[in-house]
Amino acid sequence: MPTITTLPSFDAAINRFDPVMGMEVHVELGTTTKMFCGCSTEFGAEPNAQVCPTCLGLPGSLPVVNRVAVESAIRIGLALNCRIAEHCRFARKNYFYPDMPKNFQVSQYDEPIAFDGWTDVTVDTDDGARVFRIGIERAHMEEDTGKSLHVGGATGRIHGASHSLLDYNRAGIPLIEIVTKPIEVPPALAPAVARAYVTELRELIRALGVSEARMELGQMRCDANVSLKPTGASSFGTRTETKNVNSLRSVERAVTYEIRRQAAALDSGTAIVQETRHWHEDTGETTAGRVKEEAEDYRYFPEPDLVPVAPARDWVEQLRGTLPEPPAARRSRLQAEWGFTDLEMRDVVNAGAVGLVEETIAAGADAAGAKKWWLGVVARTANERGAGIDEVGITPADVARVQTLIGEGTLNDKLARQVVEGVLAGEGSPDEVVTARGLAIVSDDAALGTAVDGAIAAMPDVAEKIRGGNMGAVGALIGAVMKATGGQADAKRVRELIVERLSG
C-alpha cells in the first residue's frame, strides 16, 4: 500500500487549498418487502433464504414497484426541501459484479424522484454555532446489491481469499441515494460540516420513520467526495470518492485525511486521480480503489420492465402533511422541555445523543441523569473503542433503569457507574450486573451495624470526639465504613447508626 509518509497538518493543507466536498448517502429503507418483489427484508435470515426469481434476476421475471418505498422517497425529498418529479423513470445501470445477479442495478439516472433541495446544518465554531445550508442535488430510488463474503484470507478482503460466498438476501432492498451539491464552506470547518450533514440527515431519516439509519448495520452508508483547489480559485479540482465511511466520526476523519493527502500530492506535483478510495478505520487513512467510471461507462437506459412513476400532486401534498418536526425545531423544543442551557444542549447534540437522551427520559429517567450517563462514561467508552455512542452496547432503557435503581436507593452514584461499566463490558442488563457483581447498596442494619462497630473499635479517638458532641468527626467513621464495605454502604443509614451508638 503506497502511502505518503509525511502529510502536512490539516491547518497547513487548508492554508494553501480550499476543499470542495460532495456527500452521497445511501439509506436502506425499512420497508417490509423489497423494492421490486415481495421478498422479506428482515435482517439476519439464513443466506439466500429471502430471494425469488425477480431479485435473483432470472429470465422472464418482472419487477413491480414497492409503493411504500416510493412514498418514503417522496417524504425524504420533501423533508429535504426538494422538488418532487411529476414524472420520473427507473434506469438500468449496467455493470458486472458478482453480488448483482442481473448484471445491472435498477436505479434512477436523469430523472430522480426528488431534486433541487436543501437542508441546514449547525456546527460549533470558536465564535459560537454557525448554520450552513447544504444544497441537495437529488434523491433517487434504487435497489441494493447482495453481499459477498470472502473466505480464507486474513483480512476478509478478496485479496488472499480462497473463495467467495454470495448472499442475495439484501439484493433488491430499497435504497434511497441522497446526493449533495458541491459543498464549499470555510476550509477549517469542512470536516465538521461533513459530519454535521450526515448527523442531520440521520436524524431526519429517523424522524421520518423510514429507516433506523443505523450506520453500523449498513442501513446508512456514506461516500465522501473531496477535491482541493488553490485558495480562492473558482474552478474545482479533481475529486476522489471515499466509499463506505460508516460512522459519523469516520466521516470527519476521512475528509480530514483526504484533504491532507491531496494537499501532499498536489504540493509534490502529483495529479489527483479521479478514483474511489477505501477508508481504513484502524489507521485513519484512505487507499486507492478503482479508477472512477464516467456515467457513460454504465450505459444507462430507461428500465423497460417498469412503468414511469408519476406521483399525483394531491398525494404529494398529503405526504407533505405527514412530515415530522424539522430536527432543528425539535432540538429547541427538547432543550426547553429538558431545561438545558445552550451549552448543555450543544454537548448533547455534538455527542449525537439527542434521540438517546429523549428515549432515556421516555423510559423514566430525569433529564440531568440521562445526560450525565450518555455524555460521561458512555461517550468516553465510545471514544476509546472508536465507535458511535449508540454502538457500545447500552440502551436508553438500560440507562433509565440505572437511574431508577439510584432513585430507589439500590445504587449510589459510584455503584451506578460500575453498573454502567458492567453493561458496557457486555455483562448483561443493569439488574444482571448488580446481581453478578453484588453491587447493591447495603442498608440492612445487621450488616451495617457490624461494619459500624468495627470502625468505632478501630478509631476510638474519633468515637470519643463524637461522644463529646463533635459531630464534624462523624465523616471519618462513615468514610471507614464505606471503605470496609467497598463503597456499598447506605451512607445515610450509616450516619444514623453511628449517632445512635455514640450519643446519650
* Residues lying near ligand ADP in the complex (CB under 6 A): 20-24, 137, 179-182, 225-227, 236, 239, 241, 292
DSSP string covering 403-443, please? Answer: HHHHHTTS--HHHHHHHHHHHHTT--SHHHHHHHHT-S-B-
Angle at 439 between CA 438 and CA 445, to 5 degrees: 90
Least distance to Mg ion from the beta carbon of 354, Å? 29
Q: Which residue is nearest to ligand ADP (CB)?
A: 22
Least distance to Mg ion from the beta carbon of 261, Å? 21
Residue 405 contacts residue 437 (beta carbons within 8 Å): no
Beta bridge partners, 286, equal: 279
Which of 277/331 has CB closer to Mg ion? 277
Rounded CA-CA distance 352/358 in Å is: 12
For 185: left if phi > 0, alpha if psi spans -120 to 50, otherwise beta; the answer is: beta
Judged by beta carbon distances under 5 to 8 A according to partner kind, the member of ligand ADP, Zn ion, Mg ion, none in contact with residue 52 is Zn ion
Which of 67/290 has CB closer to ligand ADP? 290
Least distance to Mg ion from the beta carbon of 176, Å? 12
Rounded CA-CA distance 133/137 in Å is: 13
Rounded CA-CA distance 132/195 in Å is: 12
65 contributes a contact to Zn ion by CB under 5 A: no
> Of these, 14, 25, 55, 69, which contacts Zn ion (CB under 5 A)?
55
Which of 117/388 has CB closer to ligand ADP? 117
Judged by beta carbon distances under 5 to 8 A according to partner kind, the member of ligand ADP, Zn ion, Mg ion, none in contact with residue 181 is ligand ADP
Least distance to Mg ion from the beta carbon of 375, Å? 36
**By C-alpha distance, which of 224, 226, 225, 221 is closest to 246?**
221
* Dihedral of alpha carbons 344, 281, 262, 239, sign: negative
Judged by beta carbon distances under 5 to 8 A according to partner kind, the member of ligand ADP, Zn ion, Mg ion, none in contact with residue 55 is Zn ion
> DSSP state, 110?
S
- Distances in whole angstroms, Cα of residue 124 to Cα of each of 21, 295, 417: 19, 37, 30
Q: Stretches 47-55, 63-71, 127-135, 495-503: which one binds Zn ion (CB under 5 A)?
A: 47-55
Residue 107 contacts residue 136 (beta carbons within 8 Å): no
Least distance to ligand ADP from the beta carbon of 135, Å? 8
Least distance to Mg ion from the beta carbon of 216, Å? 22
Least distance to ligand ADP from the beta carbon of 349, Å? 24
Judged by beta carbon distances under 5 to 8 A according to partner kind, the member of ligand ADP, Mg ion, Zn ion, none in contact with residue 182 is ligand ADP
Residue 57 contacts residue 101 (beta carbons within 8 Å): yes
Residue 497 contacts residue 445 (beta carbons within 8 Å): yes
Which of 278/501 has CB closer to ligand ADP? 278
Which of 274/485 has CB closer to Mg ion? 274
Least distance to ligand ADP from the beta carbon of 61, Å? 27
Rounded CA-CA distance 269/91 in Å is: 40
Least distance to Mg ion from the beta carbon of 441, Å? 56
Q: Stretches 20-28, 270-278, 436-444, 494-502: which one binds Mg ion (CB under 5 A)?
A: 20-28
Q: Nine-digit cell at 485?
A: 464495605
Judged by beta carbon distances under 5 to 8 A according to partner kind, the member of Zn ion, Mg ion, ligand ADP, none in contact with residue 230 is none
Is residue 329 within a helix (H) or strand (E), and if so which, with residue range? helix 327-338
> DSSP state, 295?
G
How many residues in total does the chain contain? 504
- The residues near 35 (Cβ < 8 Å, ≥ 6 apart) are 63, 65, 66, 69, 106, 141, 142, 143, 144, 172, 173, 174, 175
Judged by beta carbon distances under 5 to 8 A according to partner kind, the member of Zn ion, ligand ADP, Mg ion, none in contact with residue 225 is ligand ADP
Q: Where are the beta strands (DSSP E) in 126-195?
A: 128-143, 147-151, 163-167, 174-180
Judged by beta carbon distances under 5 to 8 A according to partner kind, the member of Mg ion, ligand ADP, Zn ion, none in contact with residue 39 is Zn ion
Least distance to Zn ion from the beta carbon of 46, Å? 15
Which of 20/375 has CB closer to ligand ADP? 20
Rounded CA-CA distance 230/14 in Å is: 9
Task: Estimate to the nearest angstrom the gap between the alpha carbon of 374 and the chain centroid.
Answer: 14
Which of 24/124 has CB closer to Mg ion? 24
Judged by beta carbon distances under 5 to 8 A according to partner kind, the member of Zn ion, ligand ADP, Mg ion, none in contact with residue 239 is ligand ADP
Which of 69/419 has CB closer to Zn ion? 69
Task: Estimate to the nearest angstrom the gap between the alpha carbon of 456 and the chain centroid.
Answer: 53
Least distance to Zn ion from the beta carbon of 406, Å? 50
Residue 134 contacts residue 182 (beta carbons within 8 Å): no
Which of 30/186 has CB closer to Zn ion? 30
Least distance to Zn ion from the beta carbon of 324, Å? 31
Footprint (CB under 5 A) of Zn ion, residues 2-41:
37, 39
Judged by beta carbon distances under 5 to 8 A according to partner kind, the member of Zn ion, ligand ADP, Mg ion, none in contact with residue 20 is ligand ADP
Q: Stretches 17-25, 292-300, 351-359, 362-370: which one binds Mg ion (CB under 5 A)?
A: 17-25
Residues at the site binding Mg ion, with contacts judged by CB under 5 A = 24
Residues at the site binding Zn ion, with contacts judged by CB under 5 A = 37, 39, 52, 54-55
